[in-house]
Amino acid sequence: MNLHFTRRQALALPLQTLAASKALATTASPISPATLHFGPHFKFGVSSSAYQIEGAVHEDGRGPGIWDIFTHQPGHISKHGNGDVACDHYHKMPADIALIAGAGIKNYRFSVSWPRLFPDGNGTVNPKGFAFYDRLIDELHAHDITPWLCLYHWDLPQALQDKGGWTNRDTSARLAEFSSAVSHHFKDRVANWVILNEATVQSIFGYGNGTHAPGQRGKDSWFAALHHLNLGQGLSIQALRANNVPGRIGTVACCEPVRPSTDSEADTAAALKFDAVWNGSILKPLFHGAYPELVQDDFAPLCYTNDLTNIHQKIDILGVNYYSRLHVQADPTNPIGAYFGPDHEASRFTVMGWPIEPDGVFEILKHIHDTYGQPELFISENGFANTDNSKGSGLDDEGRIAYISDHLSFVKQAIDAGVNVSGYFVWSMMDSFEWNDGMKWHFGLVNVDFKTLVRTPKRSYYWYADLIRSHAGKSVEASTL
């Protein structure tokens, strides 16, 4: 194993032994919506990101982003996929919002495209880009859907990458300027702000092993990117506060329990180190103003005076992206001596090879609650992939229903245990471009035929609609949507 090994490949390792005996199990029995009770104020929603769904990368003044460049370089993306068209949400946005409304979904987390709004990263504004998001937000309000606006979801303008991207601490200041401009423009219509999505994931895969844009590799670029993302987040929170943005300000982290692949001393130490990077390097500086002890030496050369003070900012809500536990083994070829390993505990896996471990969401929510001062939390991403993007079995996605309902049951257990969890957002509303996996995996409640761009709700869409309506004291039949 080495630094070039992706998380998705690592999580699929158990399949090597299970597939031979056909022991792979992807589904449990779905839970009826009527048995899941969260109260009338719990927020059910769906999530997306700009580059994954919008398309129109060369239209209306949008500039190039790092994923535009990366996806057109050979060998990076499964089946040569890219986001040039993606779901064509840029042109089909009103119909897509109508689909969200049709399921009774009242909360939508989306991101704005930095290259669409500021093609050069800063300075010159693209009015047509702002006009698109004006229309999107107005459309949401017209359907009584609450916008949750994420300022940065991995699509850095290439102009900033040409200056070093997230390895350049100046990019932190550029994010704060961007956040200030966007929040000033939309603050009268947006009450829920997310600064950025999964700083750990972008830093490891974009700047550590090079499997994501911009494709850089090495420990120095990895840790520099992570620190500067943290710094940019803190400066952006301050920028929004200075703008007197009403409502709540938060961020989203990919938080997952880390366990050793075996009980060996080496794997146990590796898991502690990796947990300090994956979870602790985001949460501890944000909530406690310091990096975890196990990685303080790694970050020390990057921390200038007041950096940790600027990172340590009060937030109103933390989004938690959870898909599975992480199992880690010692890896001397990795710069931190640890990397993803096989999961010998799980008995069910998705078609991607990701372990299905819904109790892990309880574990991580309780850990954050107990460790970081009982912040308000919401599940900002949780979802299940399949591969069939056609009519028929791809629409009868019982496995997705089981996955969502199982995880919701453990979210409810966390709430019952005193954890302040106020919402749950499915990843994702519709099938979309899935980064280095291209169009291979389909997470959507709505099927997208990427040849015709026709949208077709899956069975899970109707199940989720019924769940939401059951909390509103209503019921819905699939045939009525």
Residue/partner pairs of 405-409 with CB below 8 Å, 24 or more apart: 405/30, 405/31, 405/33, 405/36, 405/463, 406/28, 406/31, 406/356, 406/358, 407/322, 407/358, 407/361, 407/379, 407/382, 408/31, 408/36, 408/38, 408/467, 409/31, 409/36, 409/358
Query: In the annotation, is 256 catalytic?
Result: no
H/E stretch holding 108 reads: strand 107-111
Q: Residue 259: what are its φ and ψ, rounded to 5°?
A: -130, 150
CA-CA-CA-CA torsion for 353, 355, 361, 367, nearest 10 degrees? -110
What helix, strand, coil percent values describe the chain, rounded to 5? Answer: 45, 15, 40
Q: Within 10 Å of residue 374's Cβ, how many Cβ atoms?
A: 12
Cβ neighbourhood burial of 474 (10 Å; 0-12, 13-18, 19+): exposed
Q: 15: phi > 0 → left, psi -120 to 50 → alpha, else beta; which?
A: alpha
Query: In the annotation, is 381 catalytic?
Result: yes
Tell me which of 139, 256, 357, 381 is the catalytic residue. Answer: 381
Tell me which of 198, 256, 357, 434 is the catalytic residue. Answer: 198
Q: Which residues are catalytic?
A: 198, 381
